[in-house]
Structure 1
Amino acid sequence: MTLAIAVASDHAGFELKQTLKQELEKRGITARDFGTTGMESCDYPDFAHAVGRAVADGAVQLAVLVCGTGVGMSIAANRNAFVRAVVCSEPLSARMARQHNDANVLCLGARVVGVGTAIDIVDAFLTARFEGGRHAARVAKINAN
């Protein structure tokens, strides 16, 4: 089965999202684009909520959201009870978020990280796996509230 992940951005993250989408497709990963489609000003919650629903419904397992800082996208995405969105600006946090927190949405700031670093962060996020064990009980507590 080919991995399919959701990607979305607002206007501030559009160019980085497009670059990341191309990088994912080079790796044989299907990138389902939830918008935006250009540089015109738009509202990030619209895209974060659409992606959150796709994660909750099981249409995608993972997602990458991009806005100016990643913060707005993460706040909006985390409104969905099935989303565990994290903002990362370096690969270690992305890897640990997957391994220990079973994070399923990565948020990036296009004004915070460069393209090369963003690609490294996405790679760390996508290649890491949830370790379970003692972490599973903690994630269950997150999901219980």
Structure 2
Amino acid sequence: MLKLREGVLKMKIYIANDHTGVEMKNAIVKFLESEGHEAVNLGTDSAEAVNYAEYGKKIGLAVANDKGSFGIAICGTGIGISIAANKVKGVIAGLVYEPQNAAITRQHNNANIMATGARQIAVQKAVECVKSFINTPFEGGRHEARVNELLGMEGETK
């Protein structure tokens, strides 16, 4: 993160979507750029059907390999793309439909990817969720051990 202006940090935020989330993605990118953040589009720009899992993997890898960055993942429900992103080591993707959930997924879970559903919430509510997500810090403390346990589970088979 880079200092943009007094008290405000510029962030790199990856955004990936399937065909259902093009409109939502565009609105979120517009919001992020208006706030001075760098929005990196990893999603489709077409309404032609694509595989959400491909885009979940793409955003997961981008965020995992760029420490300190965040991701926004969008599919019809947000469920499939969040599952795909969570398969990538180092990713904690949380599914949110409300700004309060977005804040909690950062505060308590230290999520680095916010997932949502283009068929589940209005575009403006998604923008509000993103704003809440990127502006809420991880609380640490009692949550630290739980998050470390989640990250420690990666790759376990027994």
Q: Specify the TM-score bucket, using the shorter chain as the normaliser.
A: over 0.9
User: Which 4+ residue blocks in structure 1 deviate beyond 4 angstroms?
Assistant: none
Q: Measure how far apart 1:121 and its partner are.
A: 0.6
Partner of 2:46: 38
Give the share of equivalent positions with the same residue, in percent.
39
In structure 2, the CA distance between the partners of 1:38 and 1:60, relative to structure 1 (3 Å rule), is farther
CA distance in 1, matches of 2:55, 2:137: 25
Among residues 98, 105, 112, which one is paired with 2:106 in the alignment? 98
Q: Measure how far apart 1:103 and its partner are.
A: 0.5
1:136 aligns with 2:144: yes
Partner of 1:76: 84
- Select the structure of larger CA radius of gyration: 2
Deviations 1:31-81 (A, max 9, x none): 000021211111111111111111111166100011111001111101012
Q: Where does structure 1 lack aligned partners over 5 or more consecutive residues?
A: none
TM-score, normalization by structure 2: 0.88
Q: Where does structure 2 lack aligned partners over 5 or more consecutive residues?
A: 3-9, 154-158
What letter corresponds to residue 139 of structure 2 in structure 1?
Answer: E
What letter corresponds to residue 3 of structure 1 in structure 2?
Answer: M
Aligned residues: 145
Q: Please, what is the CA RMSD of the aligned residues?
A: 1.1
Secondary structure of 1:101 counterpart: coil
Deviations 1:95-132 (A, max 9, x none): 01100100010011011110121111111101000011
